[in-house]
């Protein structure tokens, strides 16, 4: 459980040479919804006026420290309350599809330095770890779909793609991944999602007579 002192420690670390201009203009270079109201947030709200330190945990409504500081929600969709709209970072993380997290940081928070500071907070990191797992699955599923298309439509790598699919190399072994103490809790939670993806792909492979 995060205490008030934990929150203070995470929010008060000094960060030098913050360049808001770089972060606020970066969203023009990546594929985002230019009409997304989250892009209109004044990025100066991400720093404490008195100390110049990054604000991290207090930016999320669910932490309930100061509602006037909160602009984000941990929920999967934006949350509208009597106090205003709180924007879902998880929704935008999955939609942007940026495994490096650099584009994401420069588009939706105060930039890369701010994002690194946010990830030092255990509560935020716990949630981001789940986002990373979901994005990994999303990108893997798309890649496998590409292999299916390659095998079906007769591309240059048709034989290799068909063999890769026939050998079930896409199958996720949850037990093996769970050996990592760092990700075991999240892997267990995401296992049903991986299972559904595998079932869906297996039905496609059977239809193509590629599954054993």
Classify strands 72-73 and 79-81 as parallel, antiparallel or unpaired.
unpaired
Tens digit of each residue's pLDDT (9 = 90 or more) over 158-179: 777 677 666 666 665 444 444 4
Alpha carbon of residue 54 to chain centroid: 20
pLDDT at position 187 is: 44
Provide the token pair at 185.
């809790």
Sketch the domain layout of the chain as residue ranges: 4-120, 130-207
pLDDT at position 184 is: 44
Classify strands 84-88 and 79-81 as parallel, antiparallel or unpaired.
antiparallel
From the list 70, 91, 87, 67, the residue with the least C-alpha distance to 78 is 87
Q: Which residues of the chain have a pLDDT value below 50?
A: 1-10, 12-25, 27, 173-190, 212
Would the pTM count as exceeding 0.85?
Answer: no
pLDDT at position 29 is: 54
Residue 158: its H or E element: helix 158-166
DSSP string covering 63-101: G-S-TTT--EESSSS-EEETTEEEEEHHHHHHHHT-TT-
């Amino acid at each position: 459980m995060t205490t008030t002192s934990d929150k203070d420690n995470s929010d008060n670390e000094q960060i030098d040479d913050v360049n808001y201009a770089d972060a606020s203009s970066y969203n023009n270079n990546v594929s985002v919804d230019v009409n997304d109201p989250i892009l209109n947030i004044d990025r100066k709200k991400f720093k404490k006026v008195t100390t110049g330190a990054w604000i991290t945990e207090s930016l999320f409504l669910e932490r309930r420290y100061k509602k006037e500081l909160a602009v984000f929600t941990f929920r999967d969709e934006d949350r509208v309350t009597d106090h205003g709209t709180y924007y879902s970072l998880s929704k935008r993380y999955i939609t942007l599809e940026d495994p490096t997290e650099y584009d994401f940081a420069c588009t939706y928070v105060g930039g890369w330095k701010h994002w690194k500071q946010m990830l030092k907070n255990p509560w935020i990191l716990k949630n981001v770890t789940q986002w990373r797992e979901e994005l990994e699955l999303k990108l893997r599923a798309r890649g496998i779909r590409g292999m299916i298309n390659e095998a079906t439509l007769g591309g240059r790598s048709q034989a290799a793609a068909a063999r890769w699919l026939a050998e079930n190399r896409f199958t996720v072994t949850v037990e093996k991944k769970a050996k990592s103490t760092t990700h075991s809790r999240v892997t267990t939670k995401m296992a049903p999602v991986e299972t559904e993806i595998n079932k869906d792909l297996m039905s496609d492979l059977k239809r193509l007579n590629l599954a054993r």
